[in-house]
Structures are given as structure tokens and as C-alpha cells.
Chains A and B, each alone.
Chain A
């Protein structure tokens, strides 16, 4: 029966080999370096991806009922009311989404932006909108009331539209928002998707005053999104007698699982859609989908996840390299130890015992290497932000240029499951690397080893 602890010498000898043979140190150092690199990069990458997902979740709530069409869909109020009556929904917020041109009143330069019309109180409950604000963080319902003149029509700008991020990833805010007007122009669409005719009562350009900034940490959002009051955005973008919206953001009660909640919303939507099938603008409901925040933000998240997958594949190659290094080192160790194998066999040790002996040795190499690598990696991660700060102050080097990337501190939270996975992988890599040399060593004829130049 396979049992590493079947005999005491299988514990004593591997420990002595580990401590006394200098060549073993190379195997330990190889494993240590690989584990160090894998732990550091996996932690940072996983941290960045998790942080990015978290920001996307904050931005989109739990579930989004929406359409990509700029025309939007009708009867949204009824569906919002329906959702609000359910026992699994915490908050709901309808939104208008469209594209627009924006220019400061004191400038002729026009910039393309996305606009989102929301009810700030509702949107703050359904998403992390409130937390993204600077001046109205604690009073999100009044996000569109600038401190200098609350009754002015106002907007909340994505932070990168208004402020510059410095190298420390921080923005310099004024104590109160300045009175700056922005002219926002939009092309209002009819329910049929046509441009509303000029000269009608539709408003397509309006001035909004800067009320606050929104900092979601999502570069595309912060660099191009302007929040407007819901009704005013609706007037800007949607022509027609039946009111329309582009999306409904839903937040579930805390105990509701994401998939379960989304399935319930999808089921409700399907019933609602069928009920409305005879209505005048029912055709607009056909383009509406129900998605979890992950699905809704898939286009943003997927590249990050893909990068993480690529990194994992690369680390797969690192692991294979480790196996080969360990294999080479073990071939060298075992070729040095062939005499020991002969001696052990002469005192009754079996082939299988020899494999177990060297597997025990490989286990110790893996354990020592990964232990040192994990310890080193952990210490490095604890200090990674200090190290980066020091490098920046001394040499102007930053891992990610904060004026370009919307990253705060480098994520350095070490996950226990990652540690365990790396430790086990390193040990398995060592065992795999040692298997072939051990097997070959076990097959050696003791007489051939011990019979030195004699026949």
C-alpha cells in the first residue's frame, strides 16, 4: 500500500538530502521564485479584476432591463411599478441613455459624451451612484441642485470631463462646485426611430450647470458620461407622446441570489411583454433584454477576464518550466545518489520504497520552496504600495501611470484559497518533476550500482 510514512528512513533521509545537498537548494530556489512570481502577479491581477468588477457592479446595480436602441422602450413606468411591488426587489431606477455633444459656455469646443437621465434618489438606491459623487455623497436626492443656485437645471459630470487626475491618482476639488454652464445638444428620436422634426416643440439643446462629479473608477464612464435629471433628458432625447426609457436598473434584496433574481425579473418581463402585445408601441419591447450586471457590462469586463486567463495560461507555462527544472535537478541529485539506492536495496528496500523516498524528498523541496516563495511574496505584497511609492519618488517609476489608469493603490489582499492552490500546485509540480527520475532510480539494479568495476 502506498504510504509515504511507511518507514522512518523515508522521513529522515529526505530531510537530510534537503539540508545537506547544495544542489537541492537550486530546486528549492527555482520553486521559491516561481511561487513568489505567481503569488504576486495573481494577487495583483485578481485584485484589479475584482476591483474592476466591483466598480461595474456599483455602476449597474444587480440587474438591468434595457435595450441598446436609442429609441428606448415604452410602458417602463408600469414595469417599474410592477418590480417595486415584488418582495425580492430593493430598488428600481429607470434611465434615459443617449449620445450628445457638450461644450462649456465659455468655449466653442464640442465634445461627444454619453448622457444618462436619472432620478438621483432612485438611482442612488438602485446603484452606487451616490457613492460616486463628491459634493452630494450624503444627499444624493439633491445631486442636481448646485450649491450656488439650487433651482438651476444642472448636471453631474463624469469626473475626467472636469478634473485632471494627478500621478497619485487623486483629484483636486474645490470646496464648492463652480458655476459653470454646459450646453448639451442631443438628437431627439421618435418612437419609430426617426429624428424629430425641427421646429416642433422638441428641445434639442439645453444648458445645464455643473452640480457635481461622479467618480466610478471606470475610465470610459468617468471620461464620457454626463448625468442629467430624468425628465429633462427625456425631453432632450425622446420625441413622442408615449414616454420612453432605455434602461431600468434593479437592485435585489440582500438575500436574493443574482441568478435567481435575474430569472425572476426575466420571467416578470416576459409576462409583461405578452400583456402589452396589443399596445401601440409594443414592438419596442421586443428589443429589451434582462441581464445581470455581469452580462450588461460584459464588454468592459470580458477583456479584463481575458487578460487574467492569458496570465493564467502563462503561469501554466511557468509551472511546466518548474516541473522541468525540478526534473533536471532531480536527475542530477539521483545520479549522485545512485550509490545510496544500491545500499538501500542491499538492506531490503524495495523499488516502490525508493520511489516513495524520492517522492518524499520532492514533497519537501516543494514545501520548502513554496513556503519561502509564499512568505517572500506575502511580505512583498504587504509592502508593494510603499515600494511603488518609493520607486516613484526616487526614480519617477510607476507600475501603472495613474494619470492614465484609474487605479488607486495596487491591490495586495492575499486570498487564502490562492495561497493554498499555489502551495498544492508547487508540491504537485515537484512530485511530477521527481516522478520519472525516481522511477528510473528505482529500476536500477543494485548489483550494477554497487559492483564497481567488477564483474
Chain B
């Protein structure tokens, strides 16, 4: 049984409507109560994409639909969507009400497809799972109900083409920047990347080439494993799983070498690219060292993070080794399924051979806050979390970087923390907040 949560930091299954919003020229259509879509877009706060936010069509199920069923209403709204919204793919997500009532939205959508329009159905009842889980369901549904039928039959499989599954759009507030950097890095190795979401993607034309890729890359602790496993089974595509966010020099280089080996790329090309990137990166880290060592006043020496598993592990590896900020108690609040927790603990433990980094898995972030209130460490501290944590940081005298949703205290457009460039940006952001505290 899932327990109570204070200060939720993810949405329900229907939150994966943002996965659709992140695909250029796709439109989510909700068969749900009237408030569901607004809840989701107001949770994430910024970024409506092509047809997100208030543009999202919805059946706005009322009591009558609950009593008499809402399939006719769904058909009507889908027809209206085709006329009104300029989009190439409709993805129907059904919410709690439709699911409890038992509307057969799948049948309605099959009818739409039979009439020649592109449409996909995903059950996304909020009580069934959260948006991190249903992100995979949405992707798999688009693959099964759209990509599979559109893919070029008998197309040559390109060993240099990779499908990338990394940041869950919007749930990772830096998804656009992270995907942009990841694509740049993979291209630096000589690969072509189907990045699939956001302005760097080729939209639906790119999606239909998913079966042509030589392999899949998953950069995520656990969310998205269902996608790459599904593609492995469906198209016999192998996948490489890199289980945390690679931030900065060490971890980005590690990722790139793993990719180069996995894809059997020319190692000398990869090493030349890595060397170029590292020169630029470590030049900045040297300047950082001068700043850190010569600053005469106070800077953060340790930090807590309240974030998802991929960020908690990636931040720890980066901040400890490349910035010198020591991870204290860490809190993973993304509702990581139990089966993945042991591997994540091991990965975090591998961050350092000489210190233990305590970590808690619990989506109830109120408890994380209680623990941080009770913690006491020598020296100036930093808290990396969501907007919920700003007051806590203030009360406990911690510096604060808002880097998780919901994040009303920060405007994010294309900033990313992944990669060499992301690591440098993260350093800038941390010390921007810290230095702003000096008069």
C-alpha cells in the first residue's frame, strides 16, 4: 500500500500528458475530470510546448459521464480536436473517472485510427501510478500504436543511430538542456541521436525511425527501463543503461567511453573528442579551485539533496569529487520501486571509498524535511531541492538551489546540468546563490 505523502514532488499517471506535450506537433487529449490537466500544467508551472497547458483538449467528465459513460463524449472531443488543433498525432490519456466507470477508450481510438487519423490511447488513471512510471507507458503506447505502423518496412538498421531515453520531460526541470547536451555529446562520438523530445528532436518523423536505431541508451536510475526493455523485446534492439545523471568531467567521460564500447565505435575518435571536452572543462575547474581556495569568507562545505534517484547519485559524484562539497543525508523522493533501490544504494556507495553517504527512499518529503531540521553538521551547508524547500533552507541557514519540481522560485528555459557544460553551469548556479548572500 502506498502511504500518505507530504509535499509531493511528482504528478500522478496523467502527468505523463507532458511527455506528449514535449513531442513537437503531438497533442494530448484527456478523457478525465475537468481539473486534471490544469493540475498537471500548474504543477510544472512553465512551458506549454506546442499544444500544452490551456490548449489541451479534455472531455471534462461530469457526473453524467460517470453515470452514463463517456465514450460518445470522447469521440466528439477527438473529432473537434482534429478540426481545431493543428497537430499530427492525438494521444488520448484516460484518467481516474474514465477508468473507474470502465469507458472503453481503446475502442474509440481504434475507431479513429481506422478512419485514417493518427491516434494513440494510454490508460493513465491517477490512482494506478505516477508520471515517472506512466512516461514509459506513453512512450510504449506511441511505439506500438503509431511508430510500428509508420516505420519503413525492412529498413536497414543503422548501428550509428541511437534512441535516447533520459530526462522525463518537465519532471526533470532541465530536460531541454540535458537532452541538448546529451545529443551534442553523442554526435561528438560520431553517432546520430534520436532525442525524441523537445526542440532538438526531429518530431514525429524522428519517432518513426526508432526501429532503425542500432541500440537504445537509457540515462536514468529506473524510469524508462520499461521503454528500453520493451524495445529490446519488440525490435531486438540492445540497450545500454547508465543509471544516474552524468554531471561534469569524470562521469560524462565514463558515459561516453561506455557508449563508445557498447556501439563499437572507433576508440581513437571517441578519445579525441573526450580529450577536447576535458581540456575545456578542467580549465574552468582550475579557475574554480582558485576561487574556492582564495575566497576569504564562507562557502558551503556540505549539502543535502531532496531529488530523484538519478539526480541524487549524479550530484553526489560530481559535487564531492569535482567541486569539493561533501554530500550529507540524501533523500530520494521519486517513489523509486523497491526492486531498484539496492542498485541505487550501491551506486551511491561507490561514490567514495572513504565515506558513507546516508540515503533515504521515501516520496513523503515532509519526513525528509524533518530529518534535515534535525541534522547538524559543522560548516556552511547547501540544500538542493524543490520550491517546497526554500523556507526550510532559510530556517536552517542553508544556501538553497531550486533544482527540482515544483519550482516556482526559478525560471528555467534551456539550462541543463548534464554533461561537461551542465556541470559548469551547476557550479555557476550554486555560487551565484551563495555569493548573492553577501552584501
Mutual binders A and B: no
